[in-house]
Amino acid sequence: MRILNEVKNERSELNMNTKYRNKLTITKQMIEDENINTDEYLVVSTYMNAEFKYLNKKLSVANAMLNRFFNPQYQKQSDKRIAFYCFNEKEFNNTHSHMYLKVPDHLSFDVVLKKFQQIFPKLDDRTNENRKFKFNVHSRTIDDQFLYLDYCLKRYDIYNAETFVVI
């Protein structure tokens, strides 16, 4: 019985180390990449109890619309694409994503953000127009990049690929 408990402890320690190594790797790569704007973040909220698949599909459609607006040839020119780095979270009545944008050099972050704030609420397919909460995009400047990335990764799960998605 003692050996079984030791093996279980070793496995859990190994899993924890792997999880923290992956978190550290993601944090390091995000901050070192000059094209990812880690000085500002976005929070995209659905205000509904949706699955991550639903949120990822909406974000994928919004990404395609955004890329098509700024560069109709975006599928052929991967270096001129806008990319989303999404850290998905589920809270009661709000499946949402903490996001970073990777914006090509020829575009301004603020211009892309304004267009995204116009596009994303239009993807809300709920029928009640008078509802209190609608799809929302919120943006803010970050004081401490490492601290906020750590906050984004709080629900990161190496066994669930939908908790961190690059679109």
pLDDT band at 5 (very low <50, low <70, confident <90, very high): very low
CATH architecture for residues 2-166: 2-Layer Sandwich (3.30)
Please determine, for residue 136, whether its predicted confidence score (pLDDT) is greater than 70. yes
SS3 9: helix
Phi and psi at 132, nearest 5°, equal -70, -45
pTM: 0.85
pLDDT, tens only, 68-101: 999 999 989 988 999 999 999 999 999 999 999 9
* CA proximity to 84, closest of 58, 105, 108: 58
Domains in the chain: boundaries: 2-166
Separation between Cα atoms, residue 63 and residue 133, nearest integer Å:
22
pLDDT band at 4 (very low <50, low <70, confident <90, very high): very low
pLDDT of 89: 95
